[in-house]
């Protein structure tokens, strides 16, 4: 097998914020490579582990029973050293010493930049998009999003129960960094009275009016979904309570959104992307991010992927406004 001669050993790492489904991707990368006669070095703690030589060869059993687990068995980190010339030189040297011919890097934009730098210095890399934020422009879907958004709606359904009992309002802040995809989808899926995201101007008076209108329409619970990027959670909570007279609580869901067993969507897409990443490397292709377009798994040049932008689905927010009263 010509491919196996060129790639005798590949590395796999997870970097940046963890996302449910990362383990499924690591498993798919490992098993695909092993099935093609290529060894797999599991690199721990993201690019830190590459710099510090924290790695071990993985066999098929090392990745047993991880498909269904959240988090990442390889651990993860955000690595500042990797951005320095010295750190990069140590990483290249570690690849040479450990006979790593190429790397599959799972993570978000920061991970892609690391993969780009490594590829430019002669270590072929393919990246797999993993982030609950679903803000990676080159792909319709990033691993972890479906699980996260399902976790959010479970939590919000519970909040709605207690709001219902007390005739209260809950302002729920969800993750997403600057992106409002989680807020838009989870707000729609829970019938929130209003959805506020950082990408669009937040009109707090309008949100107050919507909560009032929901009360007048006979609603007994009032959920206002806010993305962390909107940056208005506390101010909006105080304003709603003051101007509507409805007792209002803020709930910041936080890191609970990043954990938990991955959904079928995350497991299947992670498996397909992991398989594809190894295919690409062994075909001699690199400097790519695996991407999902419609239902196809394809790949995009990393530089191009980093240049692209993705916008929040404004029509979803507007539709929710029209029907949630
Ligand atoms: O990118 C994933 C994410 O969970 C964002 O939604 C959030 O803003 C950020 O990471 C939190 O980062 P940390 O885990 O470092 O607090």
The answer to whether position 232 is within a domain reads yes
Distance (Å) from CA 251 to ligand 1 centroid: 17
Residue 82 has a pLDDT of: 81
Does residue 24 sit in the same domain as residue 138? yes
Residue 120 is part of a domain; what is its CATH number?
3.40.50.450
Q: In whole angstroms, what is the distance from residue 72 CA to residue 74 CA?
A: 5
Respond yes or no: is residue 266 known to be catalytic.
no
**Which of the listed residues 14, 15, 16, 17 should we mutate to test ligand 1's pocket, taking the one with most ligand atoms within 8 A of CB?**
17
Distance (Å) from CA 49 to ligand 1 centroid: 21
Does residue 184 sit in the same domain as residue 242? yes
The answer to whether position 107 is within a domain reads yes
Structure tokens at 156: 């919000």
Check if the beta carbon of residue 136 is closer than 8 Å to that of residue 31.
no
Distance (Å) from CA 15 to ligand 1 centroid: 12
C-beta of 130 in contact with ligand 1 (< 6 A): no
Residue 186 is part of a domain; what is its CATH number?
3.40.50.460
The answer to whether position 268 is within a domain reads yes
Total domain count for the chain?
Answer: 2
Q: Which of 78-82, 129-133, 239-243 has the lowest mean pLDDT?
A: 78-82
Which ligand 1 atom lies nearest to the CA of residue 108?
1
Q: Whose CA is nearest to atom 9 of ligand 1?
A: 177
Dump pLDDT digits (tens) for 267-313.
Answer: 999 999 999 999 999 999 999 999 999 999 999 999 999 999 899 99
DSSP result, 195-218: EE-TTS---HHHHHHHHHHHHHTT
Non-local CB neighbours of 114 within 8 Å, separated by 6+ positions = 15, 47, 79, 82, 105
Q: In whole angstroms, what is the distance from residue 135 CA to residue 22 CA?
A: 16
Dump pLDDT digits (tens) for 167-184.
Answer: 999 999 999 999 999 999
DSSP result, 53-74: T-EEEE-GGGGTT-TT-SS-TT
The answer to whether position 156 is within a domain reads yes
Of the candidates 18, 133, 185, 266, the residue annotated as catalytic is 133
Distance (Å) from CA 97 to ligand 1 centroid: 33
Non-local CB neighbours of 301 within 8 Å, separated by 6+ positions = 287, 288, 289
The answer to whether position 312 is within a domain reads no
Nearest of 21, 34, 180 to residue 107 by alpha carbon: 21
Host domain of residue 119:
4-144+262-307
Non-local CB neighbours of 169 within 8 Å, separated by 6+ positions = 163, 193, 211, 221, 222, 223, 224, 240, 241, 244, 246, 247, 248, 249
Which ligand 1 atom lies nearest to the CA of residue 177?
8
Does residue 192 sit in the same domain as residue 151? yes
| Total count of residues recorded for the chain | 325
Dump pLDDT digits (tens) for 6-40.
Answer: 899 999 999 999 999 999 999 999 999 999 999 99
Q: In whole angstroms, what is the distance from residue 325 CA to residue 216 CA?
A: 9
> pLDDT above 70 covers what percent of the chain?
98
Q: In whole angstroms, what is the distance from residue 265 CA to residue 64 CA?
A: 19
Does residue 20 sit in the same domain as residue 127? yes
Q: In whole angstroms, what is the distance from residue 46 CA to residue 115 CA?
A: 11
If you ran DSSP here, which 8-state letter would residue 132 be given? T
> pLDDT above 90 covers what percent of the chain?
95
DSSP result, 282-308: HTT--SEEEEEETTEEEEEEHHHHHH-
Nearest of 190, 188, 169 to residue 236 by alpha carbon: 169
Residue 157 has a pLDDT of: 98
Q: pTM higher than 0.75 for the full model?
A: yes
Dump pLDDT digits (tens) for 230-248.
Answer: 999 999 999 999 999 999 9
Which ligand 1 atom lies nearest to the CA of residue 182?
6
């Amino acid at each position: 097998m010509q491919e196996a001669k060129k790639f005798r050993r590949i590395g796999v790492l997870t970097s940046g914020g963890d996302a449910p489904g990362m383990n499924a991707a690591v498993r798919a990368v490992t098993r695909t490579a092993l099935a093609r006669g290529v060894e797999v070095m599991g690199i721990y703690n993201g690019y830190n582990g590459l710099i510090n030589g924290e790695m071990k060869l993985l066999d098929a059993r090392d990745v047993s029973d991880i498909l269904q687990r959240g988090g990442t068995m390889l651990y993860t980190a955000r690595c500042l050293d990797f951005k320095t010339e010295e750190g990069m030189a140590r990483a290249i040297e570690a690849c040479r010493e450990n006979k790593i011919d190429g790397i599959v890097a799972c993570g978000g934009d920061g991970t892609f930049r690391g993969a780009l730098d490594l590829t430019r210095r002669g270590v072929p890399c393919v990246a797999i998009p993993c982030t609950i934020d679903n803000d990676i422009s080159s792909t319709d879907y990033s691993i972890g999003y479906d699980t996260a958004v399902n976790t959010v709606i479970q939590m919000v359904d519970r909040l709605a129960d207690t709001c219902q009992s007390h005739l209260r309002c809950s302002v729920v802040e969800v993750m997403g960094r600057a992106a409002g995809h989680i807020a838009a989808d989870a707000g729609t899926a829970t019938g929130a009275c209003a959805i506020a995201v950082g990408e669009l101007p937040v009109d707090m008076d309008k949100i107050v009016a919507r909560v009032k209108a929901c009360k007048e329409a006979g609603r007994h619970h009032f959920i206002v979904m806010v993305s962390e990027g909107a940056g208005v959670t506390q101010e909006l909570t105080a304003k709603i309570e003051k101007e509507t007279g409805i007792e209002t609580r803020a709930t910041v869901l936080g890191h609970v959104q990043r954990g938990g067993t991955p959904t079928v969507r995350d497991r299947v897409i992670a498996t397909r992307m992991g398989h594809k990443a190894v295919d690409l490397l062994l075909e001699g292709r690199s400097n790519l991010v695996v991407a999902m377009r419609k239902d196809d798994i394809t790949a995009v040049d990393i530089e191009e992927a980093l240049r692209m932008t993705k916008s929040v689905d404004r029509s979803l927010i507007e539709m929710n406004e029209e029907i949630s009263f």
